[in-house]
Amino acid sequence: MTRQYRALLRWALVSLLMLAEMAFALPEHSPWPGGIAIVDVGSADQPPPPVSFQDKPLLMMSRNDRWHAVVGIPLDTKSGGLSIRVGDNTISIEIVPHAYREQRLTVKNKSYVTPDQAQLDRIARERKIIDAALGRFRITTAAGIELETPVDGPRSSSFGLRRFFNEQPRSPHKGMDIAANEGTPIIAPRAGVITATGEFFFNGNTVIIDHGQGFVTLYCHLSDIAVEEGQAVSAGEVIGAVGATGRVTGPHLHFGSYLNGTAVDPAILLPQL
Ligand SMILES: [Zn+2]
């Protein structure tokens, strides 16, 4: 074997190892409300221990021969400690404060601000369908949770904004808005299974993808839905098109990401702009 050949072989091996490491890259430990905590829960020589937070099972990934729990931290978490269950023990995670800005919006259609009784009933029915899909836990071997960009465009307002519609306080913004023209195709940012589609009061035309182990993504306000419930999709497959259906002020994609039924900031999982 020549020296060059050996060097080439070593280079190929190192690149391959780096690639394997990249493919299973953990997101950055982001221990704030709406962030993601990465918690070492033991050696990967053993099967993973049962791990839960608020009685919900957690996504697990192995890295450097250790198991890591990937924990979605609820937006309403107070700073201080938060504990997860690992087998019969608990591990506490220190939560740091994070200041989210305020956003004041004016919506012309008043029923989006103060819905009537029939609309409230409809909203409650839809909430159940949406929450069930967002909170689903399907057992899979997780390959990672990094995402491709579902649609290119400016990320027009960020996750966690405390919102006021026509001066009335409403729930915080639990996703990322990406501005794009009506009809722009939206792709699945990672492989998964479609668990819900529908035309909902606030969210308009909506698609929900289950990526396994409680990792779920949400797409709202679409002009068109290109997939059906139960369908498997691969990364890059078109799932619908950008629109302005539901409670919106213009065409954009509302993109949400969820871990253990909790909305987490998609910016942690997407490539940086
Ligand atoms: Zn939004």
**Ligand 1 geometric centre to CA of 271 (Å):** 19
Q: How close is the Cα of 89 to the center of ligand 1, in Å?
A: 38
Q: What pLDDT, on the 0 to 100 scale, is given for residue 12?
A: 54
Per-residue pLDDT at 21: 43
Q: Check if the beta carbon of residue 209 is closer than 8 Å to that of residue 195.
A: yes
Which pLDDT score is estimated for 163? 84
Q: How far does residue 10's CA lie from ligand 1's centre (Å)?
A: 48
Residue 33 above 50 pLDDT?
yes
**At 4, is the pLDDT very low, low, confident or very high (cuts 50, 70, 90)?**
low
> What is the CA(5)–ligand 1 centre distance, in A?
54
Distance 47 CA to ligand 1 centre (A): 39
Domains parsed from the chain with CATH numbers: 3-91 (2.60.40.1590), 102-268 (2.70.70.10)
At 72-118, the pLDDT tens digits run: 999 999 888 899 999 999 999 999 999 898 888 887 888 888 899 99
Confidence of residue 18 (pLDDT cuts 50, 70, 90): very low
| 232-252 residue pLDDT tens | 999 999 999 999 999 888 999
* Ligand 1 center from residue 6 Cα (angstroms): 53
Instruction: Flag whether pLDDT at 7 surpasses 80.
Output: no
Task: Report CA(208)–ligand 1 centroid distance (Å).
Answer: 15
Whether the per-residue pLDDT at 190 is higher than 70: the answer is yes
CB-based contacts of 190, cutoff 8 Å, min separation 6: 145, 146, 147, 148, 209, 211, 217, 235
- For residue 111, the CA-to-ligand 1 centroid distance in Å is 18
pTM: 0.87
More confident residue, 1 or 85: 85
Q: What is the pLDDT confidence band of residue 24, given thresholds at 50, 70 and 90?
A: low
How many angstroms does the Cα of residue 203 sit away from the middle of ligand 1?
A: 9
CA–centroid distance, residue 141 to ligand 1 (Å) = 30
pLDDT of residue 165: 81
Note residues around ion ligand 1 (Cβ under 5 angstroms).
175, 177, 254
Average pLDDT over every residue of 159-184: 91
- What rounded mean pLDDT belongs to the chain? 89
Looking at the predicted structure, is the pLDDT value of residue 2 above 80? no
- Span from the CA of 34 to the centroid of ligand 1 (angstroms): 15
Question: Does position 120 have pLDDT exceeding 70, yes or no?
Answer: yes
pLDDT, residue 258, reads 98
Cα 15 to middle of ligand 1, angstroms = 39
User: According to the model, what pLDDT value does residue 178 have?
Assistant: 96
Tokens of 170: 């409403």
Both tokens of 243, joined, read: 């629109």
In which band, very low, low, confident or very high, does the pLDDT at 44 lie, cut at 50, 70 and 90?
very high
